[in-house]
Amino acid sequence: MRIVHLTPGTGNFHCGSCLRDMHLAKALRRQGHEVTVVPLYLPLVTDGGTEDGEQPVFAGGINLYLKQQMRWFRHVPKWVQRLLDSRWMLLAAAKRASMTSARQLGEMTEESFRGVTGRQAEEWQRLMDWIGSGEKPDVLSLSNGLLNGLAVVAQRDLGIPVVCSLQGEDSFLDTLPEPWRERSWDLFRENSASVARYVATSEYYAAEMRKRLRLGEDRVVCVRNGIDLSGFAEQERVPDPPVIGYLARQCYGKGLHTLVDAFLLLAKRHGTVRLSVAGTTTAADDAYIAEQVRKVREAGLEGRVEWRRELDFEEKVRHLQQLTVLSVPAGYGEAFGLYIIEALACGVPVAEPDDAGPGELVRATGGGLLCAKDDPAALAEILGRMVDDPELRRELAERGRAAVLRDFTADVMARGYAAVCAAAAGK
């Protein structure tokens, strides 16, 4: 099949959705499909670093923002717009990713759902014209539901069926202020009539989005994420003293504060246990991270906690291989949890809240223990069990790694996704 896949880039930090999309595209190609990856907004950042993708960035974030906020900007010369879409300008803009207000974010999200009929129409129409100018793809694949405003024109004007992934849109849309929250959800549902199939990354999220979008079971199917296992070597030995690890964006939603509080409790009973925190940060996270550092310092444990920010692929694998157990106790209904299968691929068991996608994933792999969410004491208890019981830890690690090798590879994910695309295209 010929597939055009649209995926937003971040420009300066790793994003689980970007990693998943690139693993998916590469695996689909290995299986004989022709896949064109088109970055949107900002350049892609993957395990290989900052990448341009096969195509130039469309709907460049600077132009999109300025056309949204200032109607007159749509009339500036094309050479100015091309300059603002240049790689160096987009990367510079990415460093200020937190500059938009809640109101501006709400407005831009609503207009994104409006696609070629909204204020961002010129940018989206340019993309759709480019897709229509080449050999017609069998499927237009969208990385997430926030892009489904493009499904209407793809189906109506280009005659291309649309398959759209679902990767945590609810947690973003529900934080928008009114009236943009309600308007965005209404447009999300309206545009869904033009989406042939939605692909959720967990059974939990498929059920959740069927309910939120008011769709039947056949319209929202589950294809769990997978990773390219090359480079994910199993750890050679369990660290001594034990190390509790974290690998995700360092923000409130991912539950870093819950893990820090659990570590402070655990440290009272285990005099040598350490904490190693790593993951993406933005300027918006600085105050939150400073508060976690303060708690550790006031407990007199700053010498037993390591803080690291953005990691490249090799650094990420080394980080995982140096852990006793990984925990990212997200407090919202996370759709999946790519960090779980990455840790298990390195032979590191996990401790997670029994909630949403991560809870489903731990049960599916058997690679960890579960506890109540947003409960530092409960988390400290299961972390302590794993630190104290080497045999339990070994059993969880072996079972989890075997499940990842069998069920959570990029090739398994790609076969499932290709089957959905084939059904949408009538092949």
Domain harbouring 393, CATH code:
3.40.50.2000
What is the structure's pLDDT at 282?
81
Mean pLDDT of 412-427: 94
The answer to the question of residue 235 being in a domain is no
Whether the pLDDT of residue 166 is over 60: the answer is: yes
Terminal CA-to-CA distance of the chain, rounded, Å? 9
Residue pair 131/138 in contact by the 8 Å Cβ criterion: no
Domain range enclosing 333: 243-407
Q: Grade residue 384 by pLDDT with cuts at 50, 70 and 90.
A: very high
What is the structure's pLDDT at 375?
97
* Residue, of 19 and 179, whose pLDDT is higher: 179
The answer to the question of residue 223 being in a domain is yes
- Residues 192, 258, single domain; the answer is no
Around Cβ 225, how many Cβ atoms within 10 Å?
26
Q: Looking at the 3D structure of the chain, how many domains does it have?
A: 2
Whether the pLDDT of residue 277 is over 60: the answer is: yes
What is the structure's pLDDT at 11?
45
Residue pair 115/121 in contact by the 8 Å Cβ criterion: yes
Residue pair 24/33 in contact by the 8 Å Cβ criterion: no
Rounded CA separation 329/362 (Å): 12
- Residues 268, 191, single domain; the answer is no
What is the structure's pLDDT at 60?
63
Give the chain's mean pLDDT: 88
- Residues 274, 327, single domain; the answer is yes
Q: Grade residue 99 by pLDDT with cuts at 50, 70 and 90.
A: very low
Mean pLDDT of 75-104: 59
Q: What is the DSSP string of 153-172?
A: HHHHTS---EEEEESSHHHH
User: Among all chains, which residue has been given the structure tokens 């208890």?
Assistant: 381
Whether the pLDDT of residue 302 is over 60: the answer is: yes
* Residue, of 343 and 45, whose pLDDT is higher: 343
- Residues 397, 252, single domain; the answer is yes
- Cα dist. 314→245, 259, 274 in Å? 16, 24, 22
User: Among all chains, which residue has been given the structure tokens 């939150």?
Assistant: 288
- Residues 403, 414, single domain; the answer is no
Mean pLDDT of 169-191: 94
The answer to the question of residue 138 being in a domain is yes
- Residues 19, 168, single domain; the answer is yes
Instruction: State which amino acid sits at residue 374.
Output: D
Residue pair 324/387 in contact by the 8 Å Cβ criterion: yes
The answer to the question of residue 234 being in a domain is no
Rounded CA separation 220/160 (Å): 19
Residue pair 260/380 in contact by the 8 Å Cβ criterion: no
- Residues 196, 293, single domain; the answer is no
Half-sphere exposure of 354 (CA within 13 A, CB side): 9
- Residues 390, 416, single domain; the answer is no
- Residues 135, 51, single domain; the answer is yes
Asked if omega into 179 is within 30° of 0 (cis), the reply is yes
What does the pLDDT look like over 396-406, one tens digit per residue?
999 999 999 99
Structure tokens at 242: 């034990």
- Is residue 236 exposed (0-12), middle (13-18) or buried (19+ Cβ within 10 Å)? exposed
Chain-centre distance of CA 192, in angstroms? 21
The answer to the question of residue 236 being in a domain is no
What does the pLDDT look like over 106-156, one tens digit per residue?
888 888 899 888 778 888 888 999 998 888 999 999 999 999 999 999 999
The answer to the question of residue 153 being in a domain is yes
What is the structure's pLDDT at 102?
63
* Minimum mean pLDDT range among 97-111, 264-278, 411-425: 97-111
User: Among all chains, which residue has been given the structure tokens 């295209």?
Assistant: 425
What is the structure's pLDDT at 50?
39
Whether the pLDDT of residue 301 is over 90: the answer is: yes
Positive or negative: CA dihedral 61, 154, 141, 35: negative
- Residues 302, 177, single domain; the answer is no
SS3 353: strand
Find, among 180, 135, 126, 134, the residue nearest to 153 by Cα: 126
The answer to the question of residue 232 being in a domain is no
- Residues 282, 141, single domain; the answer is no
Share of the chain above pLDDT 90, in %: 65
Residue pair 39/15 in contact by the 8 Å Cβ criterion: no
Q: Grade residue 61 by pLDDT with cuts at 50, 70 and 90.
A: low
Around Cβ 366, how many Cβ atoms within 10 Å?
15
E strands in 265-379: 274-278, 305-308, 325-326, 350-353, 368-371
What does the pLDDT look like over 65-87, one tens digit per residue?
666 666 665 666 665 566 566 56
- Residues 248, 311, single domain; the answer is yes
Strands 49-51 and 44-46: antiparallel
What is the structure's pLDDT at 396?
97
Structure tokens at 230: 């090359």
The answer to the question of residue 377 being in a domain is yes
What is the structure's pLDDT at 194?
96
In terms of phi and psi (left: phi > 0; alpha: psi -120 to 50; beta: otherwise), the region of 38 is: beta
What is the structure's pLDDT at 236?
83
H-only helix segments in 85-179: 87-94, 102-114, 121-133, 149-156, 169-173
What does the pLDDT look like over 2-55, one tens digit per residue?
999 998 865 455 566 778 898 899 999 999 999 999 988 776 666 554 344 456
